[in-house]
């Protein structure tokens, strides 16, 4: 699987009112969900069709949609803290506002992931200004450079993606030094078959719009995740749930890859999954609906044990 090519093309600013909308019909959280849910999930129920699997909810107004999405964003930080993805002020997760796609929600600077609540989330405009509709706290400068570029790219070229996660996880950092994607060695890796790009350079701490644009461009037209050489990784998704679970899954894949590489010796050569089976596995195990569902047990656990995150 070859890395996606990084281009230097300019990504134009999206336009929009700086105020978030408060009424109207929201877009579906997962467009096309009803037609593909059973096919993607391949679950079993009762013979009468009354036993159903939970699915992403939809709402009648933007306000309820926003509340739901912000709750899952706050929960993602708590889950990341439990996974050990916190490290000082590094790491950030963002979500496009459902009422105004030119704005996004992100974590405040210097608040531990394990302490973030819905009310702590910051709403940011295209210039980096903290807007009055969210918490009045500063944000991480490099976080803005990265997420602004990603959300600008998403708005113009990737309307299928709404959320982005970046953290300095141990195994993600370790594997990033190779500047290459993971290999198709085991079933869980198939979630990233032809769906993982590489940003093949290290541009230092991301402080400029140009570097942020290059990172965003590395995602290309189809990939949801990108390994940043000598840095770490970023995962994206249609929902925050999808993006967050992909990050956890990719970090574990990096860990497994490092273990496999370390174990190679005569008689213990790596066996690769053929492309045809890998492509089928990606469609079945890595589709957007499966990734949304995979995050729900983590969401349920953290909300039950730390309900203050919803405040």
The tokens for 228 are 């940043």
Distance of CA 67 to the CA centre of its chain: 19
Q: DSSP for 22-59?
A: -SSPPPPSSTTHHHHHHHHH-----TTS----------
SS3 16: coil
DSSP string, 106-164: EPPTT--GGG--GGG-EEE-TTSPBPTTS------HHHHHHHHHHHHHHHHH-TT--EE
Q: What is the pTM of this model?
A: 0.86
Q: What is the pLDDT of residue 39?
A: 79
Tokens of 18: 């700086």
Domains of the chain: 62-310 (3.40.225.10)
pLDDT in the model for residue 101: 86
Q: Mean pLDDT throughout 54-67?
A: 92
**Does 127 have pLDDT greater than 90?**
no
- Residue 79 reports pLDDT greater than 50: yes
Averaged pLDDT score across all residues of the chain: 84
Mean pLDDT of 22-50: 60
- Whole-number pLDDT of residue 213: 81
pLDDT band at 40 (very low <50, low <70, confident <90, very high): confident
Is 50 exceeded by the pLDDT of residue 12?
no
**What is the pLDDT at residue 49?**
79
Q: pLDDT digits over 194-241, tens only?
A: 999 999 988 766 556 677 788 888 888 889 999 999 999 999 999 999
β partners of residue 228: 199, 232
Would you state the structure tokens that stand for residue 264, as one six-digit string? 């190679």
Task: Provide the CB-side half-sphere exposure for 216 (13 A, CA).
Answer: 30
How does pLDDT run across 250-293, given as a tens digit for each residue?
999 999 999 999 999 999 999 999 999 999 999 988 999 999 99
Can you tell me the distance from the alpha carbon of 188 to that of 170, in angstroms, rounded to the nearest whole number? 19
Q: Packing angle between helix 33-41 and helix 288-305, nearest 10 degrees?
A: 90
The alpha carbon dihedral of 302, 195, 174, 183 has a sign of positive
Closest CA to 218 of 54, 18, 231: 231
Phi then psi for residue 230, to 5 deg, are: 60, 25
* pLDDT, tens digit, 9 for 90 and up, residues 138-190: 988 877 887 877 877 555 567 778 999 999 899 999 999 999 999 999 999 99
């Amino acid at each position: 699987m070859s890395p996606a090519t990084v281009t230097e093309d300019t990504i134009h600013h999206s336009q929009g009112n700086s105020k978030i909308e408060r009424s109207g019909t929201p877009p579906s959280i997962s467009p096309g969900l009803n037609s593909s849910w059973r096919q993607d999930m391949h679950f079993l129920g009762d013979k009468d069709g009354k036993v159903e699997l939970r699915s992403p909810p939809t709402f009648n107004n933007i306000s309820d949609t926003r509340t739901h999405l912000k709750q899952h964003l706050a929960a993602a930080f708590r889950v990341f803290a439990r996974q050990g993805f916190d490290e000082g002020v590094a790491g950030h997760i963002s979500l496009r506002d459902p009422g105004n796609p030119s704005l996004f929600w992100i974590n405040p600077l210097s608040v531990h992931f394990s302490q973030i609540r819905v009310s702590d989330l910051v709403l940011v405009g295209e210039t980096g200004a903290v807007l009055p509709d969210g918490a009045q706290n500063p944000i991480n400068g490099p976080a803005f450079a990265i997420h602004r570029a990603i959300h600008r790219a998403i708005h113009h070229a990737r309307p299928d993606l709404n959320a982005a996660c970046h953290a300095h996880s141990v195994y993600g950092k370790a594997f990033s030094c190779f500047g290459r994607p993971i290999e198709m060695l085991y079933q869980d890796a198939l979630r990233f078959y032809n769906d993982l790009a590489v940003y093949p350079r290290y541009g230092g701490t991301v402080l400029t719009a140009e570097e942020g644009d290059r990172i965003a461009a590395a995602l290309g037209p189809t990939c949801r995740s990108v390994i940043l050489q000598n840095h770490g990784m970023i995962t994206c998704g249609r929902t925050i749930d999808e993006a967050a679970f992909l990050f956890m899954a990719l970090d574990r894949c990096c860990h497994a890859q490092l273990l496999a590489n370390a174990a190679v010796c005569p008689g213990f050569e790596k066996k690769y999954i053929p492309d045809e089976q890998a492509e089928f596995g990606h469609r079945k195990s890595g589709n957007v609906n499966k990734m949304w569902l995979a995050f729900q047990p983590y969401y349920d656990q953290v909300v039950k044990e730390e309900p203050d995150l919803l405040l």
